[in-house]
Structure 1
Amino acid sequence: MNFIYKETHSRQIQKNKHDTELKLRSDASLTAEELLTHLTSAHTGLTNQEVENRQDEFGKNVITTGNKNTTLHRLKEAVINPFNIILLMVAVVACFTDVVTSKDPDYFTVIIILSLVFLSSLVSFIQSQRSNTAAEKLSKMISNKSSVRRDGKLIEIPMDEIVPGDVVWLSAGDMLPGDVRFLSTKDTFVAQSALTGESNPVEKFSDLRNKQDDALTDLCNIGFMGSNIVSGSATAIILTTGNNTYFGSMANTLSGNRAETSFERGVSSVSKLLLRMMLVMVPIVFLINGLMKNDWPSSLLFAVSIAVGLAPEMLPVIMTSTLAKGAITMSKHKVIVRTLGAIQTFGEMDILCTDKTGTLTEDKIALEKYMNVHGEDDVRILRHAYLNSYFQTGLKNLIDIAIINRAAKYNLENILDNYSCVDEIPFDFSRRRMSVVLIDEKGKRQLVTKGAVEEMIAISSFVEIHGRVLPMDEKSRRMALATYEKHNADGLRMVAVAQKNEVPGSGAFSVKDERDMVLIGFLGFLDPPKESAKDAITALQEHGVRTVVLTGDSEGVALKVCGKVGVNTSQLITGRDVDRMDDAALHDAVNTCDLFAKLSPSQKERVVKAFQTSGHTVGYMGDGINDALALRQADVGISVDSAVDIAKETADIILLEKDLMVLEEGVLEGRRTFGNIIKYIKMATSGNFGNMISVIVASIFLPFLPMLPVQILTQNLLCDFSQMGMPFDNVDNEYVKKPRKWETPSIKSFMAYMGPLSSVFDILCFAALWWAIGANRIELAPLFQSGWFVFGTVSQVLVIHIIRTGKVPFLQSKPSLPLIVSSLIVVVVALAIGFTKLAIGIDMMPLPVAFAPWLALILAGYFVFAQLIKKIYIGRYKEWL
């Protein structure tokens, strides 16, 4: 049946994909007017009433691929799991032996087992619901938006409110909010590697230049959800949204399995280790008890119950609740986690690569200088820069805003009436400049360009000196560079301005027209360092995180700012240097260099990769289009809520405040989260190893089973409940001082020390019950079982507090209140069952008061020797958790 379902499901996916492709090809062949008519839309967009109708018809603009995040699915996962299945099998056997075939039917054991199933499922479901609710609340705090025309006005709305027929305006950094047909484009380049795997962006056009045999993703006037605008601008009409998009139709096949993190690999390795232990344990215990007690059915049931006890069935609950609690705590520090699994990687991070602007600086760029090539103040330079910044339609960055603000102080707005923009050549990160083509009231055309100094000088054949346009020779070139380098060394971010009048009278303009320019002067901007940046970098360093700056800015500005905030500037590598290095040389360079300047987006990505191949866990913090590649490459991508869409979508963690100090709080919380998960894993593995040894010893020497299946399962549930406070536990300050990676060998060595220790005290408990209490006959087996039930439960609660800290528990390191409460409840319940008539309910005998001193003595010995072993272990391995 499952095979038939998969085949049918696969056919449906292929059909949806085929239907979507046919529709998009059809829409690509229509003229703009035909398409608007077909979609019942207009260049001015939809009306609010039309939008409401379409939202009812098409729903939210989100992709749901076999959504496994429903309440019903979480309930199913909570109820149907290996632990509950085995419990129900035990219940069936108990029902047959105690009710169906018994002369005196006893329903109590069956009721207890079914109660265990109910309670276990309830706890798991509640934790799952809480984690999901927390994740949903956090995701609503950040959202991507689109600029859309509604009732003729251009407004910003959340992307999930887009409907087919909407007319959207797109610029560099925007994600495509659906499958679109471009109505107008201007040097529009789109990255669609999510669909095609091709790293280079492709240019899109609005006209009908497609060929009949073009692949769907090669259609030049169609854009796809899942891609983003790299450069240029465009208007487009939405063709399909959500699951009806091409990306939505093939999302099941595109999603695939992402690479496992070190944490996921660690959990997998421990799960496999415990599984191997179970596979060895079950046949050994079954054979020993079957041969020695000649009761094969009871031996099988006992062995299966032991297997249940060895399974870390609380691991998913502990992990999800710990991660959810960590995410909520981080949100209070203005750090929003988009994927819960990123929390641990955040804590593991030992290299933080960050852009300079806004992270180390105030992100409030002010225009300080506007000067000619001699370095003399010249308002004419400001005027040309103002025309360029005002008339460009792309993403207005902080530089553009600073120019516009300064021009307003000189009342330069009046000159705008004299010009109109006939075309533009948008900014991109390879040219590092942008141009506008203006026409004045007399019909004169002028190309005005601003951009990075070296790139601008490279396209300038002339230079303006004292009002005269002269050919740029080596002398004038050196003079211009000297002016640039002087002010750049003072910490000013320099931008060059050039213009020319000889431009074509008609037709579209392109990058080819940016040549033979006249260099007229420079702009100098100041973005002062943040006061908090130095303290934040020092704090990160104290916690084992090295801060490395990867910036597109020039060397002078980078050196000035980084020097003031405490980044090591003794070595500086530029993008040109990176290009000259092979992978081995770059691998060596990243070990010593903390400052990389004038990097392109692909160079940033390459530097991040070099750190990773050197064995580091790398976080990358950025908010621009030029950061998207590095964000995707990093182990944990970090962006800010004000970032461009593609940066936010790529990042794992979003900061609501662009501040490294906020980041440091998130790093510490990530380590606390990992610490609480590792506590449970080390406790589970060592405890299970010890139980394995104890059960084998008991099976060899005892004439009866040391515990019945129902008793094992009840103890297991009580111990699980005692661990419910662990996600909320305190973590020692010493633990969060350095990055923490998953170390599977460390878990194995921990298990080898603590496991046998628990077995030694289990055997001492057996001895006290056998000789001191006299539970040494088959008819007194329920008394013996009651004693080990109480000791086993209380000792497992005690070991939580021993393992949770490398210090002396309670005295040097205090557990959290939730963990104390869950521990106390379980201890009281275990003692109540063992020492009262409640023991009869799970086929045990009430313990005599005489056992209490023995219990206290053995537990005290366990505590003392555990602390002694802890000291020996820390002395040898220099760590505890």
Structure 2
Amino acid sequence: MARMKILVQNIYSLETLAHVDTLCLDKTGTITDGTLRVHSVVPLADIPEKELESLVQSYMAASDDNNATFRALKERFPQKEIYSPVHKIPFSSKRKWGCVSFAGVGTLFAGAPERLLSRIPEELEEELLEGHRVIAIAFAEDIWEDAEHLPDRLQSLYGVSLEDTIRKNAEKTLDFFKKEGVDVKIISGNHVKTVSMIAKRAGLLNWQDAVDMSAIQGEPDYDMLCEYYSVFARVTPKQKQELVRTLKSQGHQVAMTGDGVNDLLALREADCSIALADGSDASRQISQIVLLDSDFTNLPQVVMEGRKVIHNVTRTAGVFFIKTIYSVLVSLFCLIANQPFPFIPIQITLVDACIEAYPSFLTILEADIRRIRGRFLPTAFSHALPFGAVIALMIGVISLLAPFTTGERQTVMYLLLIILSMAAVIKSCIPINPLRIFICVTMVIGTFGALLILPGLFEVQAVTASMAVYTIIAALVCLLLTFFFGKADEKKEKGIGGETAL
């Protein structure tokens, strides 16, 4: 992960992201690279250009706003303190405008065109359809101090279109999530036409299913919106949070990417929060994953890493749980039947080392990136239960019925324990590949080699012909039982229709 410049602040977030089935993306800085530049300036008033530029330059000099939009505007309109500011209202993503009042001149406003213009001119409509962000600049003659309302009369001065570059692998990344069954939602504060066109250029399948949240009267029906729309425009921070909360209430595992303070509520609400390194300090601090190069196209690599971790842990746990299950059941049997536990510590140590730890350690090297189905604990437990239960049953039957001495019975039970534990490891290695063949072969050679070389250490007796026949027959019966128990469990899982995730 470090090589991919991805900081995982909470390790469990890898598992969470691997299970995500809904991914919410911001447009600016996520799908696009966030490096805005002015594409065109459209004059909207019959006022000398020099006078207009003087007002805008004074606004840029007085404004404290320093996001990507204003950095691009300040580059196009260099800051000059031509007029003296007397009052400022900073830009807000909630109200979509900001303003600066100048002594003896009036107030200059900058913000969303649908807020500041009585109608959007055709030239600006074309810019929106090309996926450009449009900022309107308007003027009022009075000093304006009301941060909640706009003046009744505003004179349009400029329409400024800003161009943002779509990330190089954005289309490939969205295609990856589509193939993996992840529903991608784009949530942005920009104009609906801008966002939907960016979504189209980035390759989002349902780019036309767009809604302008600012046009909704009253309380939005978030359940309906989440069901039918993929692109959300003019979204306030609170609405972002509500959208994420609604998706979670519908049973989805939700990941949210963001870079600004307006994303904090949604990042907090999401199951997995992902921040961009060049975003705000607050967004980086509360997020579980930080993309240090601020490139969301690395997200598939995070998902793949999460899958590898989950598959390896699930496979390993499926073998380790076998010992837990049979140990509990055999201990209960020994307590009820007043019999000693059939194995000594050194025997269990051999099983732990050669059959559990050794294969688990080597399979960590594998990159199993299949889609994850089901949940960790039920999956691992269901894989272990047939083997654990059959081992416990085998020990109980042999302890009571086997026609051998105590030492011979213990040797037969130990050999059957080894055979069944190996069978569980071999089953977990399906589908077979060269590495897994090597693991299985060396596991068998190592375990039985240790018994042949050091029988006294492991307190096993020489195997007679009758013991060998009994062991082979018992092993076949036990393997058949585990096979049928396993099949019954698989049918049960299919009947329930386990949750399928990324």
Return the TM-score normalized by structure 2. 0.82
**Which residue of the partner structure matches residue 835 of structure 1?**
452
Partners of 2:50 and 2:168 in 1: how far apart? 32
User: Does the 8 Å contact 2:59/2:100 carry over to 1?
Assistant: yes
User: Does the 8 Å contact 1:381/1:497 carry over to 2?
Assistant: no
Q: SS at 1:725's partner residue?
A: helix
Sort the Cα spacing of 1:512 and 1:603 in 2 relative to 1 into closer, same or farther, 3 A: closer
Q: Does 1:518 align with 2:155?
A: yes
Partners of 1:436 and 1:652 in 2: how far apart? 38
Q: Does 1:847 align with 2:485?
A: no
Sort the Cα spacing of 1:830 and 1:665 in 2 relative to 1 into closer, same or farther, 3 A: same
User: Does the 8 Å contact 1:687/1:754 carry over to 2?
Assistant: no
Q: Does 1:336 align with 2:32?
A: no
**Which residue of the partner structure matches residue 402 of structure 1?**
72
Partners of 1:680 and 1:764 in 2: how far apart? 28
Q: Does 1:431 align with 2:68?
A: no
How much has 1:428 moved relative to structure 2?
2.1
User: Does the 8 Å contact 2:387/2:421 carry over to 1?
Assistant: no
Partners of 2:288 and 2:409 in 1: how far apart? 53
**Which residue of the partner structure matches residue 541 of structure 1?**
178
Q: Which of 681, 685, 707 is the equivalent residue of 2:342? A: 707
Q: Which of 81, 102, 107 is the equivalent residue of 1:447? A: 107
How do residues 854-865 of structure 1 correspond to structure 2 at under 5 angstroms? none
Q: Which amino acid in 1 is paired with 2:308?
A: R
**Which residue of the partner structure matches residue 551 of structure 1?**
188
Partners of 2:73 and 2:455 in 1: how far apart? 82
Partners of 1:605 and 1:334 in 2: how far apart? 28
Q: Does 1:360 align with 2:31?
A: yes
Q: Does 1:498 align with 2:123?
A: no
How much has 1:499 moved relative to structure 2?
3.0
Q: SS at 1:847's partner residue?
A: coil
Q: Which amino acid in 1 is paired with 2:345?
A: V
How much has 1:699 moved relative to structure 2?
8.4
**Which residue of the partner structure matches residue 595 of structure 1?**
231
How much has 1:632 moved relative to structure 2?
0.3
Q: SS at 1:562's partner residue?
A: helix
Q: Which of 191, 198, 209 is the equivalent residue of 1:571? A: 209
Q: Which amino acid in 2 is paired with 1:663?
A: L
Q: Which of 456, 461, 471 is the equivalent residue of 2:116? A: 456
Residues 672-681 or 601-610, more deviating: 672-681
Q: Which amino acid in 1 is paired with 2:313?
A: I
Q: SS at 2:29's partner residue?
A: coil
Sort the Cα spacing of 1:784 and 1:383 in 2 relative to 1 into closer, same or farther, 3 A: farther
Sort the Cα spacing of 1:419 and 1:841 in 2 relative to 1 into closer, same or farther, 3 A: same
1:729-758 Cα deviation digits (max 9, x unpaired) = 53544xx33x54526655665455444444
How do residues 819-830 of structure 1 correspond to structure 2 at under 5 angstroms? 820=439, 824=442, 830=447
How do residues 721-740 of structure 1 correspond to structure 2 at under 5 angstroms? 721-722=357-358, 724-725=360-361, 728-730=364-366, 732-733=368-369, 736-737=370-371, 739-740=372-373
Partners of 2:148 and 2:33 in 1: how far apart? 37
Partners of 1:753 and 1:424 in 2: how far apart? 71
Partners of 2:108 and 2:332 in 1: how far apart? 85
Count of residue correspondences: 493
Partners of 1:622 and 1:804 in 2: how far apart? 39
1:123-182 Cα deviation digits (max 9, x unpaired) = xxxxxxxxxxxxxxxxxxxxxxxxxxxxxxxxxxxxxxxxxxxxxxxxxxxxxxxxxxxx
User: Does the 8 Å contact 1:699/1:706 carry over to 2?
Assistant: no
**Which residue of the partner structure matches residue 293 of structure 1?**
none
Q: Does 1:351 align with 2:32?
A: no
How do residues 655-666 of structure 1 correspond to structure 2 at under 5 angstroms? 655-666=291-302
Q: Does 1:801 align with 2:426?
A: yes
Sort the Cα spacing of 1:863 and 1:481 in 2 relative to 1 into closer, same or farther, 3 A: farther
Partners of 1:339 and 1:593 in 2: how far apart? 31
Partners of 1:581 and 1:816 in 2: how far apart? 60
Sort the Cα spacing of 1:746 and 1:713 in 2 relative to 1 into closer, same or farther, 3 A: closer
How much has 1:335 moved relative to structure 2?
2.1
Q: SS at 1:497's partner residue?
A: strand
User: Does the 8 Å contact 2:45/2:156 carry over to 1?
Assistant: no
1:708-741 Cα deviation digits (max 9, x unpaired) = 45356535653553465177153544xx33x545
Return the TM-score normalized by structure 1. 0.49
Q: Which of 359, 367, 389 is the equivalent residue of 2:60? A: 389
Partners of 1:560 and 1:732 in 2: how far apart? 36
Q: Which amino acid in 2 is paired with 1:785?
A: Q
Sort the Cα spacing of 1:740 and 1:445 in 2 relative to 1 into closer, same or farther, 3 A: farther
Q: Does 1:485 align with 2:125?
A: yes
User: Does the 8 Å contact 2:113/2:135 carry over to 1?
Assistant: yes
1:542-587 Cα deviation digits (max 9, x unpaired) = 11211100110011101211122222133222223566345xx321
1:172-218 Cα deviation digits (max 9, x unpaired) = xxxxxxxxxxxxxxxxxxxxxxxxxxxxxxxxxxxxxxxxxxxxxxx
Q: Which amino acid in 2 is paired with 1:452?
A: A
Q: Does 1:560 align with 2:197?
A: yes
Gaps of 5+ in 1: 1-329, 458-476
RMSD: 4.1
Bigger radius of gyration among the two: 1
Q: Does 1:680 align with 2:350?
A: no
Gaps of 5+ in 2: none
Q: Which amino acid in 2 is paired with 1:536?
A: T
How much has 1:695 moved relative to structure 2?
6.7
Partners of 1:399 and 1:436 in 2: how far apart? 16
Q: Which of 578, 583, 586 is the equivalent residue of 2:222? A: 586
Partners of 1:588 and 1:358 in 2: how far apart? 28
How much has 1:675 moved relative to structure 2?
1.9
How do residues 785-800 of structure 1 correspond to structure 2 at under 5 angstroms? 785-793=410-418, 795-800=420-425
Q: SS at 2:15's partner residue?
A: helix
User: Does the 8 Å contact 2:319/2:356 carry over to 1?
Assistant: no
Q: SS at 1:357's partner residue?
A: helix
**Which residue of the partner structure matches residue 282 of structure 1?**
none
User: Does the 8 Å contact 1:374/1:483 carry over to 2?
Assistant: no
Sort the Cα spacing of 1:569 and 1:833 in 2 relative to 1 into closer, same or farther, 3 A: closer
How much has 1:496 moved relative to structure 2?
0.9
How much has 1:689 moved relative to structure 2?
3.6
How much has 1:660 moved relative to structure 2?
3.5
**Which residue of the partner structure matches residue 257 of structure 2?**
621
User: Does the 8 Å contact 1:786/1:834 carry over to 2?
Assistant: no
How do residues 40-51 of structure 1 correspond to structure 2 at under 5 angstroms? none
Q: SS at 1:540's partner residue?
A: helix
Higher RCO (CA < 8 A, seq sep 6+): 2
Q: SS at 1:343's partner residue?
A: helix
User: Does the 8 Å contact 1:586/1:610 carry over to 2?
Assistant: yes
Q: Which amino acid in 1 is paired with 2:448?
A: L
Residues 340-349 or 788-797, more deviating: 788-797
Sort the Cα spacing of 1:362 and 1:756 in 2 relative to 1 into closer, same or farther, 3 A: same
How do residues 59-138 of structure 1 correspond to structure 2 at under 5 angstroms? none
Q: Which amino acid in 2 is paired with 1:543?
A: E
Sort the Cα spacing of 1:372 and 1:871 in 2 relative to 1 into closer, same or farther, 3 A: same
Q: SS at 2:2's partner residue?
A: helix
User: Does the 8 Å contact 1:618/1:636 carry over to 2?
Assistant: yes
User: Does the 8 Å contact 1:382/1:403 carry over to 2?
Assistant: no
